[in-house]
Structure 1
Amino acid sequence: MSAVMIARKVRKWEKLPGKNTFCCDGRVMMARQKGVFYLTVFLIVGTCSLFFAFECPYLAIHLSPAIPVFAIVLFLFVMALLLRTSFSDPGVLPRALPEEATFIEMEIEAANGNVPAGQRPPPRIRNVQINGQIVKLKYCYTCKIFRPPRASHCSICDNCVDRFDHHCPWVGNCVGKRNYRYFYLFTLSLSLLTIYIFTFAIVHVVMRSVDSGFVKTLQDTPGTVLEVLVCFFTLWSVVGLTGFHSYLISLNQTTNEDIKGSWSGKNRLQNPYSHKNIVKNCCEVLCGPAYPSVLDRRGLTQDDLPVPASTATQSNPVPQTTKTTAPLIPNEHTPDDAKPSIADSAIAHAEKRSPSPKEKSPTPAKVPPLASPETDVEASIIIAKEKAL
């Protein structure tokens, strides 16, 4: 059964390549591997819930009611930054269209020339100058583009990300140009929240141990023991990660550049993005403009879907047309059996001019067909004149 292609409008996020997951009609964008992200949410929510259940009631009465209030504010701030980092576009670069990819390939072939058999072609790079420093733009064979400076292709999300820092499984997304500041503020606020809970959990145990003893306190508040263990092992990793990114921000450098040694090692190249000033570097990274997404995830595009011919006929019936009596001009594209004769046209015109049926003359005898088309025309004109009289 033949199929008919019917075009329908869909959102662009439904047709985007890569290994991303979209929710809320394209408003939420994450990586497909989200198991560790759910673990992060569980640890934060679970630890804070234990703190609010076991420590906050006692500390609010015996120390200050501001302790649980500040903990709630800090918890909400951490969760907001986590969701903002995880659900946003990190700066994914769109792939080249087929026409653009073909044009780029032609440019590369023209620049490289014919490569002899058995030899590797030269690397596909372009050199640009940034602040007096030569920076190489590498060609991405997957996205078919020359990546902008500081961009890199994430193998997990299968996308090129602008100012790529790293792929963080704890937030379930890449960290790049558009969400790096939120990632750093998340790690910073999570460090403060961990220190806050760890400190007041110990204070709570010490204060209750004075009245009822240490062992009795641990028996009455088993959640406190679990909080202290989670915070103790989390504290070193989270605080260490925050310190490492504080160091990178002060140099205006990314994790990817630091691991690869882009501005150090044998090359001894200077970082062209650094202002040689810690304050200026921090202001650029944390207080710079918010860059819009270049994906247009919720834009509309057309998608051709194959539909069976019977279904398409039932849904869109073809309107019936009546045969017209207007004379057609015969041409070489019209079939011979569909061409109207000049005699028929003349007879129709003469009948229209006749005043009444009584004045019509008897029907003339049929003229036998002639071999020449000129004689057919003359005969039809004679018949038309007799009808008119």
Structure 2
Amino acid sequence: MSAVMITRKVRKWEKLPGKNTFCCDGRVMMARQKGVFYLTLFLIVGTCALFFAFECPYLAVHLSPAIPVFAALLFLFVMAMLLRTSFSDPGVLPRALPEEATFIEMEIEAANGNVPAGQRPPPRIRNVQINNQIVKLKYCYTCKIFRPPRASHCSICDNCVDRFDHHCPWVGNCVGKRNYRYFYLFTMSLSLLTIYIFTFDIVHVVMREYPFTVLEVLVCFFTLWSVVGLTGFHTYLISLNQTTNEDIKGSWSGKNRVQNPYSHKNIIKNCCEVLCGPAYPSVLDRRGVMQEDSPVSATSAAPYSTSSSSSNPVPQTTKTTAPLIPNEHTPDDAKPSIAASAEKSPSPKEEHPPAPKVPPLASPETDAEASLTKDKTH
């Protein structure tokens, strides 16, 4: 059975490697494990719904109508920062193309030379200088690239992320170069919202006991320590211009007299760079269009081509590309089959078509007799 290659246009997000999921035609990008993210939404929305339904009416009448207004604005800001963090590209780096990977492998082999049998090859590392400090760029065997400084490969999303901080299951996404500031604003605003609801819940319990208020106090009490503690930890990291991944690994702990080359030695400058720096565009081009060759069996495509050839013939092309890697064999589907070659080759009868019959040339005498006969008839 022969196969015909048909070219169709697809979005690039449909063919991106890794373990991410896309929605809204590639506009929304998240991790596949989103169960904890739904739990985060439920806790935030549920707690605020109870506060607006039971405490806000009483507090607005007896204390101030500004209490529910400020709580609503703070709730909307928290939800905006959460969705912005969860639905955005954290800074995923594209993987190397086959020809790029082949070129990098050739460069590494040429630099390392022949390694004797039984010996481990040297690590694939490149050294770059940043602010008079040597930084090592490690090679990613999955993405086939030398990762930029501060980038790391996320094992959950299976992608390299630029300025990788950590993978946060509570937001259902990685936290990296493009969404770290929104993650920090989310944790900070959520801390303020939790403290705000917890404070006025205690006020409501003192003024008027209510069973739902006691439940909210317990939820906010256990949430308060974790959220406020997380906000304080990231505030400390921002003041040093450091990531969670670097802090866990001890990259700039000073044990080997290695200082952080990204720190400005000033808390205000570090905070301004992390929180007020430029917004970096995505390098994935998720919604771009690419062409894909999909094989279709000749038996299923034959009736369509026969019926349409009489009215509106459509040319079919077979795209065959040479292997990018040496000693790579061409797949069997891309090879022309015997039936396809038989259809293209002419039959023995068509090789020597009969010569057309040409009437013999008339002589001048015959033409004269024909003209006299024509005159007599007239």
TM category, shorter = 0.7 to 0.9
Q: CA deviation at 1:150?
A: 0.2
Shift of the 71–129 alpha-carbon distance from structure 1 to 2, 3 Å rule, reads same
Q: CA deviation at 1:226?
A: 1.6
Partners of 2:120 and 2:62 in 1: how far apart?
75
TM-score relative to the length of structure 2? 0.80
Q: CA deviation at 1:268?
A: 2.5
* Preserved CA contact (<8 Å) 1:30 1:88: yes
Partners of 2:259 and 2:204 in 1: how far apart?
51
Q: CA deviation at 1:304?
A: 1.1
Partners of 2:149 and 2:322 in 1: how far apart?
69
Q: CA deviation at 1:171?
A: 0.2
Partners of 1:375 and 1:341 in 2: how far apart?
60
Give matches, 1:1-389, under 5 Å: 1-208=1-208, 221-307=210-296, 317=313
- Cα deviation 1:241-283 (Å, max 9, x = unaligned): 0000000000000000000000015313100000000000000
Partners of 2:312 and 2:257 in 1: how far apart?
69
- Cα deviation 1:306-346 (Å, max 9, x = unaligned): 2298699799746899999999999999999999999xxxx
**Structure 2, unaligned stretches of length 5 or more?**
297-302
Q: CA deviation at 1:300?
A: 0.5
- Cα deviation 1:70-121 (Å, max 9, x = unaligned): 0000000000000000000000000000000000000000000000000000
Shift of the 241–363 alpha-carbon distance from structure 1 to 2, 3 Å rule, reads closer
Shift of the 62–118 alpha-carbon distance from structure 1 to 2, 3 Å rule, reads same
Shift of the 340–107 alpha-carbon distance from structure 1 to 2, 3 Å rule, reads closer
- Tell me the SS of whatever aligns to 1:167: strand
Percent identity, aligned pairs only, is 90
* Preserved CA contact (<8 Å) 1:351 1:387: no
RMSD in angstroms over aligned alpha carbons?
12.3
Partners of 2:265 and 2:326 in 1: how far apart?
84
Highest CA radius of gyration, 1 or 2? 1
Shift of the 207–333 alpha-carbon distance from structure 1 to 2, 3 Å rule, reads closer
Partners of 2:103 and 2:326 in 1: how far apart?
48
Q: CA deviation at 1:4?
A: 1.2
- Cα deviation 1:127-162 (Å, max 9, x = unaligned): 000000000000000000000000000000000000
* Preserved CA contact (<8 Å) 1:330 1:339: no
Shift of the 114–224 alpha-carbon distance from structure 1 to 2, 3 Å rule, reads same
* Preserved CA contact (<8 Å) 1:2 1:309: no
- Tell me the SS of whatever aligns to 2:8: strand
Q: CA deviation at 1:305?
A: 1.4
Partners of 2:195 and 2:320 in 1: how far apart?
89
Q: CA deviation at 1:3?
A: 2.3
- Tell me the SS of whatever aligns to 1:136: strand
- Tell me the SS of whatever aligns to 1:315: coil
* Preserved CA contact (<8 Å) 2:240 2:263: yes
Q: CA deviation at 1:355?
A: 38
- Cα deviation 1:10-39 (Å, max 9, x = unaligned): 110000000000000000000000000000
Partners of 2:343 and 2:221 in 1: how far apart?
107
* Preserved CA contact (<8 Å) 1:94 1:294: yes
Q: CA deviation at 1:221?
A: 2.8
* Preserved CA contact (<8 Å) 1:367 1:379: no
Q: CA deviation at 1:239?
A: 0.2
Q: CA deviation at 1:125?
A: 0.2
* Preserved CA contact (<8 Å) 1:6 1:304: yes
Count of residues in Structure 1 that have an aligned counterpart in Structure 2:
370
Partners of 1:360 and 1:114 in 2: how far apart?
58
- Segment drifting more, 256-265 vs 134-143: 256-265
Partners of 2:242 and 2:326 in 1: how far apart?
78
Shift of the 315–122 alpha-carbon distance from structure 1 to 2, 3 Å rule, reads farther
Partners of 1:8 and 1:99 in 2: how far apart?
23
TM-score relative to the length of structure 1? 0.78
Partners of 2:75 and 2:319 in 1: how far apart?
77
Q: CA deviation at 1:374?
A: 31
- Segment drifting more, 298-307 vs 185-194: 298-307
* Preserved CA contact (<8 Å) 2:163 2:177: yes
Residue aligning to 2:299: none
- Segment drifting more, 309-318 vs 248-257: 309-318
Partners of 1:297 and 1:128 in 2: how far apart?
30
**Structure 1, unaligned stretches of length 5 or more?**
209-219, 343-347
Shift of the 35–350 alpha-carbon distance from structure 1 to 2, 3 Å rule, reads closer
* Preserved CA contact (<8 Å) 1:12 1:301: yes
* Preserved CA contact (<8 Å) 1:184 1:245: yes
* Preserved CA contact (<8 Å) 1:350 1:387: no
- Cα deviation 1:17-69 (Å, max 9, x = unaligned): 00000000000000000000000000000000000011000000000000000
Shift of the 6–228 alpha-carbon distance from structure 1 to 2, 3 Å rule, reads same
Partners of 2:324 and 2:150 in 1: how far apart?
69
Partners of 2:176 and 2:333 in 1: how far apart?
71
* Preserved CA contact (<8 Å) 1:370 1:376: no
